Amino acid sequence: MFVVYGYVCYNIKNLEGWRISMSEPYQILVVDDDASIVNIIETALVQEGYSVFTAGNGDAACRLAREKHPQLIIMDVMMP
């Protein structure tokens, strides 16, 4: 786990049963209750060639993590 500027980044690519194809872009889940911050991070990551999914709360983040199996989750640590 890494903490960068108030965000927690969980690297979950090594979890058992999660298949990763290195020929496809990394999938990243961005979670924050502030939509403007999500938009800034999403834009920067997409410009770098990553596939990005976003969520505005913990429940949506958990659902997307189970569905999409991202290799990285960038999450605000101070969400309500």
pLDDT tens track for 16-31: 444 445 567 889 999 9
Range of the domain at 26: 2-76
Separation CA 5–CA 37 (nearest Å): 12
The residue that leads in pLDDT, 77 or 9, is 77
CATH number, domain at 65? 3.40.50.2300
- Is a pLDDT exceeding 60 seen at residue 1? no
**CA neighbours closer than 13 Å in the CB half-sphere of residue 15:** 11
Q: pTM of the entire structure?
A: 0.72
pLDDT tens track for 14-70: 444 444 455 678 899 999 999 999 999 999 999 888 999 999 998 999 999 999 988
| pLDDT at site 26 | 86
